[in-house]
A and B are shown apart, each in its own frame.
Chain A
Amino acid sequence: MHPFEYIVPSSAPEAVALLAEHGESACPLAGGTDLIVDLKHGPGNINLLVDVSALPEFRGIDETPDGLRIGSMVTFGEIMASPVCRKMTPEIVAAAHTVGAVQTRNLGTVGGNLVTCVPSADIAPSLMVLDARVTVIGSDGSREMPIEEFFVAPRKTSLQPHELLESILIPKNALGKPSKFLKFGLRNGQALALVNAAGSLWLDKDGKTLVEPRLALGAVAPTPLRATKTEAFLTGKPATDKVLAEAAEIAVSEAKPIDDFRASANYRRQIIRTFTLRVLKRSIEIAREV
Chain B
Amino acid sequence: MLVQLKVNGELRSADVPAETTLLKLLREHLGLTGAKLGCDVGDCGTCTVIVDGESVNSCLMLAARAAGHDITTIEGLANANQLHPIQHAFEELGALQCGFCGPGMIMSAKHLLDKNTEPTVAEIRDALAGNLCRCTGYTKIIEAVVVAGRAMSSTDARP
Contacts and interface: CB of A to CB of B under 8 A. Distances in A.
Given A6-B1, A106-B56, A101 B18 contact: no
| Residues of A contacting B: mostly | mixed
A104 interface: yes
B55 A6 contact: no
Given A102-B127, A106-B54, A189-B126, A36 B62 contact: yes
B18 A107 contact: no
Contacts of B60: 32-33, 36-37, 104, 107
A103 B57 contact: yes
Contacts of B108: 102-103
Interface in A1-50: 1-6, 8, 29, 32-33, 36-37, 39-41, 49
A4 B62 CA distance: 12
A284 to B, nearest CB: 27
Contacts of B127: 102
A5 B43 CA distance: 26
Given A3-B18, A40-B40, A189 B130 contact: yes
B42 A104 contact: yes
B64 interface: yes
B19 A2 contact: yes
B130 A104 contact: yes
Instruction: Give the top 9 A-B pairs by smallest Cβ distance, nearest first.
Output: A101-B130, A189-B129, A6-B18, A1-B19, A106-B54, A101-B129, A103-B57, A37-B41, A103-B130
12 contacts: A32-B61, A36-B21, A36-B62, A37-B42, A41-B41, A102-B55, A102-B111, A103-B48, A103-B57, A106-B51, A107-B61, A189-B130
Given A40-B41, A101-B131, A190-B129, 20 more contacts: A3-B18, A4-B18, A4-B19, A5-B18, A6-B64, A51-B64, A53-B65, A100-B42, A100-B130, A101-B129, A102-B55, A102-B111, A102-B126, A102-B130, A103-B55, A104-B42, A104-B57, A106-B55, A107-B61, A188-B129
